[in-house]
């Protein structure tokens, strides 16, 4: 049977193998992704982000168990940073999801960021498609909420939950830039801890100051370890989902995502083409010239780009 057919029938091993191919050799994986495309678009994708230790994996586990009771099929993408020096990573989110691993309607995949520029959101999007084509109805993406690349990744989601916890010191400071804006629902986890009320006031203040959105994001209190607030949280996700559909906002988000996907794919193809055409020797040549102060890097790249452009126009 074809790999894509096996995936559509929910074959875990086939799906897992294709995900590996997406990570290791995207050019080759595209062949299979093409076959899956028409079976995608059914799943709802929920992003869960926030600082390390805020309880993302715990909340993902609890939400997953809650949804399993309704009978929906689930997949989880758990992203952790890779070491920029060795490329290695310890992917430990499954520690909080142990009892989910033998539920055959739950598929969990841990992913290292592998330091790919722009590549992570592209491969995450492909992983979402594979899980979608498998018939998973709700797909969670867990990723640490710091840094530009993580924000790019989480934008692959339909709805984004931003987790915060009391006692992060100068709470909001940590996440003020860029990340507050992407949260559709604010989750104050570890609300068994001191400082919860203060944190909520801070979030409310922040939102009233900065936010230009039509709908003010809900703030939901949870205690992940005790399974408190999970039902309320899921109700809010469903409510928001309906709201976004009604307002046409969901459609808009999906459209933006396709646009970004095309952009990412284009960039990768052209990048490869460009460097193949120019060749390492020519680049080394320019480096030497810059070292000797014969040319500046701006003019050097401009020159190489011109050569490339001429070649394209000629139709080579």
Partner 1 sequence: MKNSIIRVLVAKPGLDGHDRGAKVVARALRDAGMEVIYTGLRQTPEQIVETAIQEDVNVIGLSILSGAHMHLFPKLMKLLKEREAIDIIVMAGGIIPGEDIVELKKIGIKEIFTPGTDTNRIIEFIKENVKVVR
Ligand X SMILES: Nc1nc2c(ncn2[C@@H]2O[C@H](COP(=O)(O)OP(=O)(O)O)[C@@H](O)[C@H]2O)c(=O)[nH]1
Contact residues toward ligand X (CB under 6 A) are 52-58, 93, 96, 189-190, 192-193, 223-225
Residues 80-109 that bind partner 1 (CB under 8 A): 82-83, 86-92, 94-95, 98, 101-102, 107-109
Considering the complex, what minimum distance in angstroms separates the CB of residue 131 from partner 1?
11
Q: Per the structure block, which two tokens stand in for 298?
A: 């701006």
Cα–Cα distance, 259 to 59 (Å, whole number): 31
According to CB under 8 A, which one of 112, 145, 166, 229 is a site residue for partner 1? 112
Any contact of residue 272 with partner 1 (CB under 8 A)?
yes
Q: Would you count residue 4 as binding Mg ion (CB under 5 A)?
A: no
308 binds, among partner 1, Mg ion, ligand X, none (CB under 5 to 8 A by kind): none
By the 8 A CB rule, do 190 and 197 touch?
A: no
Burial label for 203, CB within 10 Å (0-12, 13-18, 19+), is buried
DSSP letter at 82 equals P
Whole-angstrom distance, CA of residue 237 vs CA of residue 244: 10
Residue 82 phi, psi dihedral angles, 5° rounding: -90, 155
Closest contact distance (angstroms) between CB of 75 and partner 1 is: 9
Least CB distance from residue 275 to partner 1, whole Å?
Answer: 10
Is residue 48 within 8 Å of 163, Cβ to Cβ?
yes
**What does the binding site for partner 1 look like in residue numbers (CB under 8 A)?**
12-13, 16-17, 19-20, 23-27, 82-83, 86-92, 94-95, 98, 101-102, 107-110, 112, 114, 116, 268, 272
């Amino acid at each position: 049977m074809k790999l894509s057919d096996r995936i559509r029938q929910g074959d875990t091993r086939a799906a897992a193998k294709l995900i590996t191919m997406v990570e290791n050799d995207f050019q080759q994986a595209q062949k299979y992704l093409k076959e899956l495309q028409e079976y995608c678009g059914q799943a709802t994708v929920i992003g869960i982000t926030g600082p390390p230790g805020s309880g993302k994996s715990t909340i993902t586990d609890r939400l997953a168990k809650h949804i399993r009771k309704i009978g929906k099929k689930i997949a989880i993408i758990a992203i952790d940073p890779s070491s920029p020096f060795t490329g290695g990573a310890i992917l430990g989110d499954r520690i909080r999801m142990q009892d989910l691993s033998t539920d055959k309607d739950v598929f969990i995949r841990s992913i290292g960021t592998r330091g790919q520029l722009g590549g992570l959101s592209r491969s995450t999007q492909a992983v979402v498609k594979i899980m979608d084509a498998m018939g998973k109805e709700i797909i969670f993406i867990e990723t640490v909420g710091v840094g530009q690349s993580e924000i790019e990744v989480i934008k692959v989601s339909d709805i984004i939950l931003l987790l915060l916890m009391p006692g992060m010191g100068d709470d909001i400071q940590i996440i003020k830039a860029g990340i507050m804006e992407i949260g559709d629902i604010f989750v104050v986890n570890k609300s068994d801890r001191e400082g919860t009320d203060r944190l909520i006031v801070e979030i409310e203040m922040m939102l009233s100051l900065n936010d230009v959105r039509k709908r003010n994001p809900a703030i939901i209190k949870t205690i992940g370890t005790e399974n408190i607030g999970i039902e309320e949280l899921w109700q809010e996700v469903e409510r928001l989902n309906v709201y976004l559909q009604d307002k046409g906002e969901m459609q808009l988000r999906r459209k933006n995502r396709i646009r970004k996907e095309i952009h990412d794919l284009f960039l990768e193809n052209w990048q490869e083409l460009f460097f193949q055409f120019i060749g390492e020797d020519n680049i080394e040549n320019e480096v030497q010239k810059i070292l000797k102060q014969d040319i500046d890097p701006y003019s050097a790249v401009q020159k190489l780009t011109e050569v490339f452009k001429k070649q394209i126009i000629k139709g080579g």
